Every structure is written in structure tokens, then in C-alpha cells.
Chain A
Amino acid sequence: MAEKTIQIEIKRQSGPDASSTWEKFEIPWKPGMNVISAMMEIAANPVNASGQETTPIAYDSNCLEEICGSCAMVINGKARMACSALVDKLEQPIRVQPLTKFPVVRDLAVDRSVLFENLKAVQAWVPVDGTYDLGSGPRVFPQQQEVAYPLSNCISCCCCMEVCPQFNDATGFVGAATIAQVKLFNSHPSGKVLKEERLRALAGDGGVQECGFAQNCVQACPKQLPLTEAISDITRDVTLQVAKDFLRA
């Protein structure tokens, strides 16, 4: 009996400025395979479906358990994590391409530094660095923890931004992930100290106002962050902050 194989087509690009082409592969099926492990098979034997020798696929991945956030790709037309995209649950040929709204580095590896820049722009951290010991932090009540924990699950994969109709070159929209992190750090008893600055940052061009509430982000998020709720809450907070600043000016 012939060995069971899988069909996979990958959009390849040798560098940031190179043109892209689709390359087809037929690789042996293994139980429990996912899109990353399929690409590991290709790396072990880099030959495409027409039998030509090729280069291994470049891509980002690390944890292989949907927790590091590095392996986001567009698989069969949808942005998702490649390591949790099980081959047996995908229609074949599986078509894999890099995220479309982030500059390609090579093949499936993209540059997502825009999210890092956005998180820096809103100071998405708890500022505790100092020259002396600040002691233990304030208590966080379980009720607060229940709000914060789901928001803290963000893995910075950028799926929410990829699927957002408002996240594009024309708007320079900040995207749902950063807004959710503002809610997280604004609710933290120590992180709160930067609350007003974060809200003012988000009132800038490309801020919360650009959201058109298409709600794709919350559908696509692999970690099920309550993104639309965060956007709603934070837009209200930003509006109130802008009004306060206006009256105190």
C-alpha cells in the first residue's frame, strides 16, 4: 500500500525585497502532525512536489504549544498559529502564507516590531525600576485578578491586527492587542500610576478611535482575549481623559 502523504503549498520569498512564488510539497503523513511539524519534515528533506531540491522554509516558532506567539501565519486563508493548526483538521492542499500586513523577512517569517513599538508607546508595563527596594506590591483582589488574567494571556502573535480591517497602511491603527494591554496595566494597582499617560497616548493618531468595531480581532485571537470589551472600556476611558484634560487645560 502506498504511503499516506499530505499536500502543502507554501508562499515563499527569499528576502524582504524579493518577489514571492508558491511552492508545492508532498510529504509523508504522520499522526498528530501540525503545520510546523510538516515544515520540519520539509527541512529534513528539502525536495518539492516536482522532485526538485529546494531550501528549507524560514519561519518563526518556538514553544510548539501556542504560548510563545511566534508562529502566526495565514493558513488556508485565515490568520492562526501554525503550531496548533493540526494537519488532519485542515483541507488539503494546505496553503500557507506569511501574515499579509507585516513586512516579510523571508518565507513565512515576518517583522512584527510594530506591536513592540505600540506597546512601548503606551508604556505597557508596571514601572517598578528604582534605586531602592520598593517592598512587596499592593494586594490584588481575586475580583481584579479575574478581569486581569484573561488580558494577561496575550501572546503578541498579531493575529488580531492581521484580521482587522482598520489595521492597514492608511490608518496606522494601533490594533486590539495594545488596547487590551492598556486595560490590563491600567487595572494593575501599581501599573495604574501611568494610567493617564497611556490613555493620552491612545488618543493620538492611529489610536482607539480608528476601531470600526468589526469584531474580527476577538474571533481570531488564539488566546480568547476579551478584546471588544477592552476596546469599549478603554475608548470610554480615553474619551473621559480627553474631556478632563480639556477642562483642566
Chain B
Amino acid sequence: MSIIEVNNLTKKFGDIEAVKGISFKVEEGEVFGFLGPNGAGKTTTINILCTLLNPTSGEAVLNNFNVVNNPNEVRRSIGLVFQDPSLDERLTARENLEFHAMIYNVPRSERNERIKNVLEMVELSERQNDLVRNYSGGMKRRLEIARGLLHYPKVLFLDEPTIGLDPQTRNHIWTHIRELKKKENVTVFLTTHYMDEAENCSRIAVIDYGEIVALDTPSNLKAQVGGDVLTLKTGNDEIAALRLKEDFGLDVKLVPSESEGTNSSGIYFEIENGDKFIPKLIKEADLNILSINLRKPTLDDVFLKLTGHAIREEKADVSTFHRAHMRMGRR
């Protein structure tokens, strides 16, 4: 029996169908990733699995308990780091952690030790007795993660856990998560739109517009992209793309432009043995090449290939972050 089983799950908010009949299984001890752009339905799925939302239809079973019929048993099996802030700002960091440890039944004898460890992990030991309302945004985020790792649940949900954190802290946190997984056999369910974070996963479900478009290990997913990815910046992308299609029979795509006024900021294509192709390209193609970049395929490329659009095309990224901070700032 898998630790999570989801069958044909849907969730509608009025006219919006946020989750459109998804099905998947997560095995015990896995690090399972949900990768998708803003609004794909990642948080909605987690909210259903953690009993905060009822599904419109379909079924979800966690640790052999149905999330709708046995919410109390499900809640006893899980831990969460939410995407949006969820701290008590009128308590100190330590009091927030103590509240969590108590309510999750962490044995009294282990409480102090664990609190000390997670505080060290996120480097907040010195500020532990400050009120959370006086913390910076990043400090709050770190505290939130520390709190999520305080008890050892069957399934740990991490909804975009390390958004806005510096690389060093992200490393600390990932080391801790891996240890937890090894020692306590915790299953980790992660959502992210950071590709490098997704690489930590044993399996990844790529989700777009409420549907799972692929589900596999990171390396298998990357193998779907044929060979290497070559990106060129040229004087005229449209002409360059046309020539490469005609002369080399390549399937060339435009890199979506990051600035207003231009249509593209380069072109790219997949090619086997890209390192050997570059000299040939330079010798034979009569193009105004400004720069060449060769790299192994990443999950970004996988996403682009599967959905036809880049994962962070949408500018909503900024607004979700903004929304979270607005909420923290009010009081």
C-alpha cells in the first residue's frame, strides 16, 4: 500500500477548476515533487491532502486514511510547511516552536533538544526570544521551516519551502531533511518551481493547469529531452531560426523575450553531441552569432517540452510573494 494514493481528484472554486482529475501514488520514504508554474494547482492539492479543503470529487488516501472521512487520523500522520505565512507574530520564535512541539506531542524529554537543533539549522538561536513580528521576512520563513521539522510525521508537506532564502540556508535545510528521511523514514511531499530543488526528488510530477502532464524520476524526465540544449544569441533570431531549419533540419525555438519591445532573446534547440556540433555550426552557418551556450538538459527544458511554455513565464510569481507580505505587514 502506498503512503499517498490520489484518484481522479478534482477541485473547483466556482468557475475555476484548480485541479482537474489528477491521480498519483507516493511510496513511503520517497521525496516526491510537484513541479509547476503559479496557479497550477499545487497548493490546492496539498490543502486537500492535509484536510484543509474538501475535494469537489475524487478520492485521496493518506497513510491508509481517507482525507474526507478520517481527517483526524490524517492530521495525526502529517506535518506541513505552508507556502503562506502561518506564524503567531505575537509570540516569540521559541514560543511558536514550543506550541508546535506540544500540540504535536513531541515528548517533553526531547522537546528542548529538538528546538535547539532546528533553531541552529536556520541560524535563529540568538533571536529565539524575540517576538516574531520583529523578524524580517526571510527570518520568518526560516522559522516556519524550522517549526515544520520539529516533529517526525509520516508525511511531511513542504509547499515551496525555500522561496526567498539564501543558498547557504537552503543547503542547511536540505541536509536536515535528508537526515530526517534517513533516520525516521519520513516521506517528503514537495512543491516547487525551483528546478534545482526539484532535482532533490526521487520522482517528480509535472503539473500544469491542474493536470499532471508527466510523472517520472528527474533523470528519466530529462532523458525525454533529446541530447544537449544549445542556445544562441544572434543579430536576428527569426532569420537565424529559419536558416538552421533549412540547412540542418533542426527544430529551432525562440527563447521568450524578457524585455518589452523584442520578440525573443535568442533561439535554442536540442541536439545530440552538441560539443561536436558547435564547430560545424560556426564553419557552415552564415549567421550573425553573438553568443553560444551549450548545456545538459534541465527540468526547465523538460517543462518547456511538455507544456510548450516556460515555467516562469507568468509574472504572477511576484504577486503571490507580494500577497504573502501584504498579509504579514497588516496589523
Q: Do A and B come from one complex?
A: no
Chain B interface residues (CB < 8 Å from chain A): none
